Structure 1
Amino acid sequence: MKIRFDGWWRYAIAALVSVTLFGCDKRDSYQPRVSLELTSCERKEGEAPTVSGAECGYFTVPLNRSATNPGLGGAEANELELYIKRWPAISAAPEADPLFVIAGGPGQSATDIADVLSGSFYELRKKRDIVFVDQRGTGHSSPLNCEVDEADQLLRHSAAATDASIEQYRVCAKALAPRAPYYTTSAAVADLEAVRKALGYRTINLWGGSYGTRVILSYLADYPQALRTVVMDGVAPVQLAMPYNIGSDANRALQRLAEQCLAQAACTERYGDIAKAGRRAAERLRAQPVTLTIDHPLTGQPTSLLLDDSKLAGLVRFSLYDRLASRLLPAALAAADTQDYRLVASLITRLATSDSAPNLALGMHMTILCNEDAGVTPRPKSELFLGVDLATPVTRICEFWPKASVASEYYQPVRSDVPALLLSGERDPITPPYWAAQAARTLTKATSLVATGAHHGVTREGCTSAVIADFINHTQLSEGSAECMTKIQPLVPYLSPESNSAAVDTL
């Protein structure tokens, strides 16, 4: 999933000014009580700010809110600091309710992804503050990091790399054991509510992506009175149960891509059924892994890459997250089916670079998966993807990961009448539309939109940011405002410079 959408994303003005500009609700006599002062964000010398006037600061919260004797010392008495970034509204007379941004992963930093989302939230920022809070365990909020060399593992044999990775996680689990049990979604929601109050906001709007939508659902359950609207992009209710459902969801996305190719004469002639080609290639690599030589993504030096079925399955699944990478999958899988792995090697090299690899706080990531997702009952049966059980490495880690307490009501459907906009990409390999449909059943004011050509994350595609702004500004969609999302169509699979123009005409 979370989903560093953290390791899926790093926030400030005098109290009097905060009250005047950000707290006053002209609709009634509500008077905010501001206890958190933010100041201008620090930046590196010569670095231009993405957003002028950005404010940052830290807010102290208890590590364990249920500690009975905080004065006794030990882990229960500790506190942690949440890192906050705020973009003040451009207007001198802003709306009283800001937008809070919740990242995915789990393990992503909200402040890390702030700049990436600046264009998407520009329209909203004209009259609303935008607030980014690094969830506990991510970014600058006492992160639960693990030293795991994922880029190096992409270049090694998958079995050996998995074993080495699990041992690194075992060391990390021991180091994080005193703190990890207090880094749950429910604790993070209580943190967000405390930040809302400290900044003096009576009500807020929420946007979350991937795992961030689960945080929103938990917020809806615990503090509905504090919420004006919510927007969930790539809905991931706890019933999604990572990693047990990832095989079936990835199979669905690959099948959608295969069907698109089969519906296009030029693509069918060139590649055939790419889902079958992928399964054949994986079966061959399962029986006999191959060694390739590629330029190392960081050093540029010739480097050996051992490719097997597990590595191929992981590459295909991660490529399905992205519209551009998915364009290359038909060509890559058809070539791999003929034992030509050059394009596959190029895609692996791309994933191994620091810029393209997900930046997650892996300790926080595993804490959520091994406690919250693992607690779903009945546990979903894992489905193989290209003949590979993608859940196994995570389940092995969860055997020794520190245990946290998760209340039974956390797994109940969230019922709410807060206006909610649910966004899904039809080709999403991890949070496809049926998860949004499941969550919407108990949200009485839910509006669900599906972008046919989108993958994981819809907010930055096409006109979606304008649709989000319309929804938050009016607590519902204006007539016809979402029609533009029908233009978010699947990208044409890559064929060749000569045949691509003809392919476009057939779609």
Structure 2
Amino acid sequence: MQTVIFSLIIGIFIFSGCGSDNTTPQISKTYYTTECSNFDINRTDLECGVLEVPNDYFNPTSTFTLPIVIKRAKKEAIKSPVIYEVGGPTEKGALISLSLIDWLSSNFSTFDDRDLIFYNRRGEQYSSSHLSCSSVDESEFKENLKELLGENNTISSINQEQFETSIKSSYTDALIGCKNFLQSKGLFKKDFTTRNSAHDIESLRKSLGYEKINLLGVSYGSRLSLEYLELYPENLESVVLDGVLPENSDFMQHSVTQYKEAIERFFKVCERDSKCNGAYPNLKDEFLFVMNHLHNKPFFYTFNGDKYNIDGRSLAVKVYENLYSRSNYSSIPYMIHRLYNEILYDNYTFLESLATTYTEEGDEDLIYNFIHYQDYPINLNTLLAKKDTLGEFTNSYSIYNIMTHKELYEVYGGGKFVQYPYKNNVPVLIITGTLDPVTPYFYAENIDARLQNSTNIVLKNYGHGNFTSNCGKLALERFWESKNEFTPPDCINDENPIDFFVAEE
């Protein structure tokens, strides 16, 4: 999943089409093989195909095609396949994960007699419904924003009044331009929902002739897997949810405070670790100092003719993003401490080296906005109230982001909070990390409490998406082979201490 940042301008406004009185989805059974080169894949060990699905399962007016990649079982496929559900949703989709296909098929003996299936969802690359508004003219909005920012300002310094009076109209024009462009291509908001994508999974199952399937859902992929679990439990052998996103979470509104919560959880780990606390006893205070300094006096840097900048929010965003993967954890305290010293002594060598990667960039994945603004309601007053609770972390989240949240949700028409009963006995394995910044451990506790046959594995000092970790791999392999008789491996009790980096004096 991704943070909603500056170029939410690329998010769009699309009419909702009329509904239908039909109550039974018109599941597709149309699949045909194709050359993998059509998806820029140069592999002879993979089977590639196209799944044709209706744009709307209850009132179809056209069809979309979805790209499918299958790693066939090494032997006879006598067991039900595993379908991988990627996070995001992202513009690139799952087909860029060829290395993950290889890793899964080579690390799990279960794929000796199981097919492994990857595919890109509606709206993603290589689908006929690929969402892109690159041809829409956004020059007026960009010019208005540039004028408002000036030479010494950044996004985090824009206030609500400035957004409303200076850039809202041009921002809205950009959204409407994108809406008109996509509508002319026959792409409507109503067609890009988690519910339709769940029906796509059922179309895939039926088209390929599988009696039952297994789902491996990571991040947003877990949200989609839960949707399928609610709709088609009888067709599931098992489900794995890694970094789980429940359907009833406060996901979009939670984004305002999750920076603070995630970073503070990490600081607590450092505080309890003798090595980290010994080297960085004032880590939180140093972080707040650096963030507030960069908020009040953003750092601008020019390298090879390109201009870069870091302000308080962009620093917080990048520290937050580094919390996704445990592999980054050891160096975060050192990075903060060094930035603190550079600002104190007015020597910005390290900050210059970070500037080219820490400058905020746009999120161009339209499908992310399509899905999440329909799945998760937001309210401006709630967002503003959440920002008021940030306290000393106030400069980690800008009013600009709150206002773009509001605009995008309003133009999409939004959804309502739902909570599914999950009245089935499908075996479900949940994997979460105590330091997951985007789908925190209490999301996993939420869904575990509501499922009938689930096991929640919590890995200490791990972040987001952990089935590839040593313990996650062991748990996953055991689960796929035993399911209803599954017992977690002993490694779930490991403390997994972080080996924090401390520079030699």
> What TM bracket, shorter-length normalisation?
0.7 to 0.9
Aligned counterpart, 1:505: none
Which of the numbers 59, 62, 74 marks the counterpart of 1:78? 62
Q: Where in structure 2 are the equivalents of 1:260-271 lying within 5 Å?
A: 260-271=269-280
Q: Deviations over 1:138-170 (max 9, x none)?
A: 1222222344999xx9x9964199989967666
Aligned counterpart, 1:175: 181
Contact 1:144 1:180 survives alignment (8 Å):
no
Q: Deviations over 1:85-118 (max 9, x none)?
A: 1110111x22241001111112251222242343
SS at match of 2:455: strand
Aligned counterpart, 2:465: 457
Deviates more, 1:179-188 or 1:282-291: 282-291
Q: Where in structure 2 are the equivalents of 1:241-256 lying within 5 Å?
A: 241-256=250-265
Q: Deviations over 1:425-465 (max 9, x none)?
A: 11111111110110111111100001112111101112322
- RMSD of aligned C-alpha atoms? 3.7
1:439 and 2:447 equivalent? yes
SS at match of 2:248: helix
SS at match of 2:178: helix
SS at match of 1:181: helix
1:105 and 2:88 equivalent? yes
The whole-number CA distance in structure 2 between the counterparts of 1:400 and 1:265 is 45
Q: Deviations over 1:391-424 (max 9, x none)?
A: 8526515525653675x68444544321000000
Q: Where in structure 2 are the equivalents of 1:408-423 lying within 5 Å?
A: 410-423=418-431
1:159 and 2:155 equivalent? yes
Aligned counterpart, 1:206: 215
How far off its partner does 1:59 sit? 1.4
How far off its partner does 1:134 sit? 1.0
How many residues align? The count is 444
Deviates more, 1:109-118 or 1:378-387: 378-387
Aligned counterpart, 2:8: none
The whole-number CA distance in structure 1 between the counterparts of 2:334 and 2:292 is 18
The whole-number CA distance in structure 2 between the counterparts of 1:472 and 1:391 is 46
Which of the numbers 369, 374, 390 marks the counterpart of 2:372? 369
SS at match of 1:418: coil
Q: Where in structure 2 are the equivalents of 1:358-507 lying within 5 Å?
A: 362-374=365-377, 382-383=386-387, 384=390, 385=393, 387-389=395-397, 392-393=400-401, 395-396=403-404, 398-400=406-408, 402-403=411-412, 406=415, 410-476=418-484, 478-479=486-487, 482-487=489-494, 489-496=496-503, 498=504
SS at match of 2:253: coil
SS at match of 2:369: helix
Deviates more, 1:261-270 or 1:97-106: 261-270
Contact 1:170 1:397 survives alignment (8 Å):
no
- Go from structure 1 to structure 2 and tell me whether the alpha carbon gap of 1:35 and 1:78 turns closer, same or farther (over 3 Å shift): closer
The whole-number CA distance in structure 2 between the counterparts of 1:442 and 1:173 is 38
Q: Deviations over 1:294-324 (max 9, x none)?
A: x4xxxxx254322221211211111111223
The whole-number CA distance in structure 2 between the counterparts of 1:59 and 1:90 is 23
SS at match of 1:131: strand
Q: Which runs of 5+ in 1 are unaligned?
A: 5-32, 71-76, 296-300, 500-507
Q: Percent identity?
A: 23
SS at match of 2:429: strand
SS at match of 2:240: strand
Aligned counterpart, 1:232: 241
The whole-number CA distance in structure 2 between the counterparts of 1:99 and 1:258 is 38
- Go from structure 1 to structure 2 and tell me whether the alpha carbon gap of 1:379 and 1:445 turns closer, same or farther (over 3 Å shift): farther
Aligned counterpart, 2:15: none
Contact 1:463 1:485 survives alignment (8 Å):
yes
- Go from structure 1 to structure 2 and tell me whether the alpha carbon gap of 1:344 and 1:426 turns closer, same or farther (over 3 Å shift): farther
Which of the numbers 191, 195, 208 marks the counterpart of 2:200? 191
The whole-number CA distance in structure 1 between the counterparts of 2:276 and 2:380 is 42
Contact 1:173 1:400 survives alignment (8 Å):
no
SS at match of 2:223: helix
The whole-number CA distance in structure 1 between the counterparts of 2:446 and 2:114 is 31
Aligned counterpart, 1:217: 226
Contact 1:104 1:209 survives alignment (8 Å):
yes
Q: Deviations over 1:1-42 (max 9, x none)?
A: 3899xxxxxxxxxxxxxxxxxxxxxxxxxxxx9853435523
* Counterpart amino acid of residue 349 in structure 1: T
Contact 2:95 2:120 survives alignment (8 Å):
yes
- Go from structure 1 to structure 2 and tell me whether the alpha carbon gap of 1:96 and 1:40 turns closer, same or farther (over 3 Å shift): farther
- Go from structure 1 to structure 2 and tell me whether the alpha carbon gap of 1:465 and 1:492 turns closer, same or farther (over 3 Å shift): same
Aligned counterpart, 2:266: 257
Contact 2:309 2:359 survives alignment (8 Å):
no
Q: Which runs of 5+ in 2 are unaligned?
A: 5-27
The whole-number CA distance in structure 2 between the counterparts of 1:440 and 1:377 is 30
How far off its partner does 1:209 sit? 0.5
The whole-number CA distance in structure 1 between the counterparts of 2:85 and 2:99 is 14
How far off its partner does 1:262 sit? 2.2
Which of the numbers 135, 139, 145 marks the counterpart of 2:132? 145
Contact 1:111 1:132 survives alignment (8 Å):
yes
- Go from structure 1 to structure 2 and tell me whether the alpha carbon gap of 1:290 and 1:352 turns closer, same or farther (over 3 Å shift): closer
Contact 1:248 1:382 survives alignment (8 Å):
yes
Q: Deviations over 1:196-224 (max 9, x none)?
A: 10100111000010011100111111111
- Go from structure 1 to structure 2 and tell me whether the alpha carbon gap of 1:248 and 1:483 turns closer, same or farther (over 3 Å shift): farther
SS at match of 1:60: strand
SS at match of 1:463: helix
How far off its partner does 1:126 sit? 1.4
How far off its partner does 1:490 sit? 4.2
SS at match of 2:77: coil
The whole-number CA distance in structure 1 between the counterparts of 2:473 and 2:280 is 35
SS at match of 1:83: strand
How far off its partner does 1:373 sit? 1.3
1:136 and 2:122 equivalent? yes
1:55 and 2:47 equivalent? yes
Contact 2:30 2:53 survives alignment (8 Å):
no
How far off its partner does 1:283 sit? 1.8
- Go from structure 1 to structure 2 and tell me whether the alpha carbon gap of 1:477 and 1:320 turns closer, same or farther (over 3 Å shift): farther
SS at match of 2:241: strand
- Go from structure 1 to structure 2 and tell me whether the alpha carbon gap of 1:110 and 1:352 turns closer, same or farther (over 3 Å shift): farther
1:279 and 2:324 equivalent? no
Aligned counterpart, 2:24: none
- Go from structure 1 to structure 2 and tell me whether the alpha carbon gap of 1:443 and 1:256 turns closer, same or farther (over 3 Å shift): same
What TM-score, normalized by structure 1, do the two folds share? 0.76
The whole-number CA distance in structure 2 between the counterparts of 1:216 and 1:58 is 21
* Counterpart amino acid of residue 185 in structure 1: T
* Counterpart amino acid of residue 444 in structure 1: Q
* Counterpart amino acid of residue 450 in structure 1: V
SS at match of 1:238: coil
Q: Of Structure 1 and Structure 2, which has the larger fraction of its residues in helix?
A: 2
The whole-number CA distance in structure 1 between the counterparts of 2:71 and 2:379 is 37
